[in-house]
Amino acid sequence: MYQPTQPLPPRLAPPIPPPAQVRGSMPVLVPHLVWEAVLLVLVVGVSVVATARVPVFEGDGLWWLVATVGLLATGLALSLRTGTPNLAVGGVALLSATLHVVLVTEVGMPWLVAALLVLLVSVVVGLGLGLVVGLTSAPAWAVSLAGLALVQGVALGLFQQGAVAGTDQAPVRVAAVWFGLFLLISLAGGGLWAIPPVRRLLGADRSSTDPVRFRAARLVPALVGLGVSSVLAGLSGLASVVRLGAVTAPAINLELTLLALAAVLVGGVSVFGGRGGVAGTVLGTILLTVIVQWVDIEWQNLVDGRVGWGLSATWLIIGLAILAGIGVSRALEAMAANRPMVSAAPAPAPGSGRSGGSGDPA
């Protein structure tokens, strides 16, 4: 006897997940702002104790150091946020200082014209490194180390020609102006990074995609991170020439570079890339320069003025500060890990094997 086929029950559509809540800039910044408040307390406390023991703030030497290191640190902070750490900033600063002295003292170029030309050279160096990183997807630290060797070689070649004497033609020789320039650039950059679209455009790529595969989205962050950080390094080199009236030795630039890196990490910029606060680089730079000046004076007094021991203390402080900064990065990352990541891409189809987007990089 014929039995009619029973109709199949209707297939239930998969449940639609609730719309994700887009993360605002304030939740992203909360851990960094809390840490920056702690840093502010540390800066005030260390400054008070140091001033009670040694004349750290006498004269304008400390503010020159803050401005010089701070401009390097601001450039490094940007390159870390974009995931393209620029380890060549110290070499770019040395090349800028040396080239500027050559242009002014030997070529006879006006100070301001020479300064603009030096910054243009810094831009070209940074954009060149950015192109290599963006087009090859090679790690920025490796590419920038190659750039460091190149610019250091050119600078040493200029040293051999006797280009070490500076000039007093600088239109601005006031430490407060250069310190204010560093403060303005660093705070403006931190505030700009607090805007979510900026972070999504320039932030470090934290996805698990093939690191060798070319990604057009990485080209812009590489150009911005390495290009702008090189310009800021050029400004740091100009500040050192204005301050010292001469070109510093290459070893001093390595010390300033590592001190700047320590300040960036202690200030809360993530060593993993992408994340950072607003005033952390400023506070980290002031904190470490005060400590370095304080300990350097104390050690020189303790060992009867033998400078070598003071330099040893500086390197020890830098090393410990970098390790502490890595710990700060890890702690801030752990706080951010408890917050859900949001992806602008639609959910993948079942069985497609594709993963969603990596979300807001900040």
Per-residue pLDDT tens digits for 234-247: 999 999 888 877 67
Query: How high is the pLDDT of residue 353?
Result: 43
Look at residue 342 and tell me if it is in a domain: no
Does residue 176 form part of some domain?
Answer: yes
pLDDT confidence of residue 287:
96
- At residue 179 the predicted structure's pLDDT band, cuts being 50, 70 and 90, is very high
- For 128, the token pair is 């060149």
Query: Taking the CB of residue 138, how many other CB atoms lie within 10 A of it?
Result: 15
The answer as to whether 357 is a domain residue is no
Mean pLDDT of 129-157: 91
For residue 22, pLDDT beyond 50: no
Higher pLDDT, 174 or 166: 174
Asked whether 75 and 231 are in contact (CB, 8 A), the reply is: yes
pLDDT computed for residue 244 by the predictor? 77
**pLDDT given at position 2:** 52
Statement: residue 138 has pLDDT above 60: yes
Q: Is the dihedral of CA 237, 131, 184, 360 positive or negative?
A: negative
pTM greater than 0.85:
no
In a 3-state reduction of DSSP, which class is residue 37?
A: helix
- With b for 16 or more beta-carbon neighbours within 10 A and e for fewer, the 217-244 pattern comes to ebbebbbbbbbbbbbbbbbbbbbbbbbe
- Give me the amino acid identity at 343: S
**Is position 7 within any domain?**
no
pLDDT digits (tens, 9 = 90+) for 256-274: 889 999 999 999 998 888 8
Most confident range (mean pLDDT) of 142-146, 200-204, 254-258, 339-343 is 142-146
15 lies in some domain: no
Q: Is the confidence at residue 11, as pLDDT, over 80? A: no
Q: Output 345 or 8, whichever has higher pLDDT.
A: 8
pLDDT in tens, 271-312: 888 888 889 999 999 999 999 988 877 776 665 545 445 557
Does the residue 188 lie in any domain?
yes
Please indicate, yes or no, if residue 101 is contained in any of the structural domains.
Answer: yes
Domain of residue 249: give its range.
27-202+210-337
In a domain, 356, yes or no: no
Strands (E), 62-121: none
How many domains in the chain?
A: 1
